[in-house]
Amino acid sequence: MISKLGCLREHVGVPLASAPSHTFMSSSANEFQLYQDVLQELNGIMHTVLRALFGLSILASAAEFPNIATKVDDFRTAFSDLSWVVRDVAGDIRTASIDFRYAIWSTIQDPKLSISSKLDILDSWMKSLESKKLGALRMPDQFHRFCGDFSKLSQEAQDTRDQSELAIEKDIKSTSHMLQELGEEVSPVLLLKTLAGQLKSWIKKLRFAMLNWMSRRSASTNSSIQATPGIRSVMSRREELKALRDEKERELQVLQTRKRHLLGLHSKRDQFVEEVAATCQKIALVAAKVDVFSKMYHKLDEGTEGIKHVISEQAPDLNVILIAFRDKLDRYSKMLEEFQKRAM
């Protein structure tokens, strides 16, 4: 049966008297290696996400998603801010480790200090970490919410693509229909023009004959015979219709060119949607890995409670337990310092 004191020794990283020392060292090494691997991966993923967000902003502009490009820039700023929160949480744990190493550790070893005073010091130290621990606990949820909001850009991009293509198709259909109507209206006008040309020829002949006849009459008589207003109206309407038809044909060409351009953007727009999904997966990984800081805080709580119990029991090996806990905090401090340097 393992004693209560033996369990506490395990909490702070001290091997049981009955257990081989190499078992403890192996377990401790695994713990630190696990944390170190997670911190390195976390750093790498955060840098990858920031690069991905920068690339998505460029891709959104190239895919002609101007509003979405602006939103991506906002998300990149927000993720950068969250990354700094992660660095701050790491810094808080490192600061707590250093405080214990250089302030708490030496104080509670003072033989002149009463047991109650030592316990009060440890309680105060743990209480000072409460708000920081809550910050670490909230981080996974912050990244999950960020990922949920960011993922909505994928649907927004698809809706924007569909709406733009539907709008251009509607404009093409409307312009084509108008051209068809103009074509139907112009055709009888062309026929009237032919008839008007023949009528004009007949009028010229008649006018010549009439002028010969009228020349014999009074010189004051107005002998000019002009073309009928009806013919001029037909000719004018024909020119108006032709100008309008030419204008609509140019509009149709522009619309068709725009449609081909939008179809050419399909690959970029599809790529944007795919990369948003891939980036969300990376952000979800960040949300999972930032839990490492809560685990570290849990280890601090565990170890401190163990030390408090040893102090209360006035166990003879308090110094051994303190040294083991101090060494653990030193290793935390070192790996967190490395994390912060790489995060810059």
pLDDT band at 27 (very low <50, low <70, confident <90, very high): very low
Q: Is pLDDT above 70 for 328? A: yes
Q: Is pLDDT above 50 for 208? A: yes
Q: How many CB atoms lie within 10 A of CB 190?
A: 11
Q: Give the Cα separation of 87 and 292 in Å (integer).
A: 13
- Which of 62, 110, 46 minimizes the C-alpha distance to 342? 46
Give pLDDT, residue 210.
Answer: 61
Longest dimension (CA), the chain: 151
Q: Is pLDDT above 90 for 140? A: yes
Give pLDDT, residue 187.
Answer: 54
pTM strictly above 0.75: no
Residues in the chain: 344
In the numeric block, the tokens 């149709």 are attached to 252
Q: How many CB atoms lie within 10 A of CB 118?
A: 20
Q: What does the angle CA 50 – CA 56 – CA 57 come to, to the nearest 5 degrees?
A: 95
Q: Say which residue, 229 or 117, is predicted with more confidence.
A: 117
Q: Give the Cα separation of 103 and 124 in Å (integer).
A: 12
Q: How many CB atoms lie within 10 A of CB 240?
A: 10
Give pLDDT, residue 8.
Answer: 42
- Mean of per-residue pLDDT scores for the chain: 75
- Residues 6 or more apart in contact with residue 295 via CB below 8 angstroms: 35
What's the one-letter identity of residue 29? A
Please tell me what DSSP assigns to residue 103: I
Q: What is the chain's alpha carbon radius of gyration, rounded to the nearest angstrom? A: 43
In the numeric block, the tokens 């369990």 are attached to 7
- Residues 6 or more apart in contact with residue 61 via CB below 8 angstroms: 69
Report in angstroms the alpha-carbon separations of 198 from 131, 193, 225, 242: 100, 9, 17, 22
Give pLDDT, residue 38.
Answer: 94
Listing DSSP states for 213-251 in one string gives: HHTTS-TTS----PPPHHHHHHHHHHHHHHHHHHHHHHH
Report in angstroms the alpha-carbon separations of 192 from 187, 205, 240, 243, 244: 9, 20, 15, 18, 19
Q: Give the Cα separation of 118 and 103 in Å (integer).
A: 12
pLDDT band at 264 (very low <50, low <70, confident <90, very high): low
- Which of 185, 1, 171, 153 minimizes the C-alpha distance to 73? 153
What whole-number percentage of the chain has pLDDT above 70? 60
Q: Say which residue, 75 or 249, is predicted with more confidence.
A: 75
Please tell me what DSSP assigns to residue 100: I
Poorest-pLDDT segment among 70-84, 155-169, 224-238, 322-336: 224-238
Query: Tell me: the pLDDT tens digits for 72-124?
Result: 999 999 999 999 999 999 999 999 999 998 888 888 888 889 999 999 999 99
Q: Is pLDDT above 50 for 22? A: no
- Which of 47, 153, 139 minimizes the C-alpha distance to 92? 139
Consecutive H or E run containing 37? helix 21-62
CB 48 within 8 A of CB 282: yes
